[in-house]
Structure 1
């Protein structure tokens, strides 16, 4: 009997426990704190700084010989790639104003890039030393106001011809070798080329101003002439009119006197004595 009571007690306890288990309210779930995920920022790949650049340089259009005064027919421009920060950009020439009318200090091969050290600027001492051929000289030819068109149209390296302005009628009628330059009769005047195909080294612009604030002289054209050409020209200029015109020649002429006869070329040189023997003696005596 006692055992039955115990069993019944266990059963009741079990029933109460189950009842409590099902009737007990389940606790509200505790919300877990929201953890924000770190925002991942995508970094754009860094752009590499350019290491090279494109520049324009002058190149020889054809083989250029030493002492050649450069014109637009001697060079062309092309684009090349060089390292940024290198001295290539300053070494080469990229503008026509930095090469036109300059002189080549040495031989330059065809298609070679023309460096600044290869050429010399007009009016510089290096220019004169490079432009003049051995045995030739610089001769200044003064221009008058009427010749101002030459300054506007010609530049270093261009060629000119020199003419004498004279009257051939006076020579034909005269029994002597008298030369009239020019004649009073304009119709009888002629021009004759005496020196041709000569190169302009550079042009000096005149700065002399008269009382009316006008330039008396346009300037001087510095020519490259030989010793023989200078003797003839300088003598003619003492008592005749010599005029300059753009040359009809395309290339520099070494022998500028080529159109003259042998007699004309040799004038005014002579081997005759300046004084007779008697005059020489009188001169020595002080008379």
Structure 2
């Protein structure tokens, strides 16, 4: 969105929120004008983040984006460029991107290192799938040479050997996918189980992904929503899953109750968010992201890039 489009969308969202407040469910959290402006700005930012990936899909993406030795390496853009002809590799790159996260200082360096930037041949999905032990041994033998850092959503993860380290996480991911035969089969089975409904399929995969070690609510949500944005899976978030989160739940309490520490149950809040999302038509990923970021600074817009 350009500046004019953002301004127009902001006017529309504010009008929709006021209408919802008056005719559907009160929104005391955005009654103060400064709160309304801040919340709308967060919605705009969240919409932009979702639409940006989809916009990139329509552009030419350099092959250097998929080369871990290149300073242009970007696992998300790489997944986009590989999604048509090397689908399984694209899924693997989305996993690496989600596990590492984009660090504000080192960008995608850690993902590049885990993909094999120091090796003659990258650690492709085909290599890892047939011999995960060699890949895990390689990580545990080289991690001390890595300079990349985990992103904000993954800041508590570790490369060190152990039951909670990256090696163990990769092993659990490989086992999860291998159980279906391929990533594509995994998604296909979920969609069949959901009768082709994109939101229900998301919910199926969200529950199944509990099999992946240390991919909690945020990790699963980020991975699955990115599959949808990149175009690898026709799925769409069906919920904010705030029962397992702090930020979105606090944001919803502030929005609907006017106080972050209200006693309203997550199930009730989730139902209200669903009604509001249908009214705004922005998607659950936008709602989750905007609520989480808004509650950090509800009366003064602050951009969040972590």
Instruction: Answer 1 or 2: which has greater strand percent.
Output: 1
Instruction: Answer 1 or 2: which has greater helix percent.
Output: 2
Q: Based on CA coordinates, which of the two structures has the bigger radius of gyration? A: 1
Q: Same fold (TM over 0.5)?
A: no
Instruction: Give the structure, 1 or 2, with the largest relative contact order (CA under 8 Å, sep 6 or more).
Output: 2
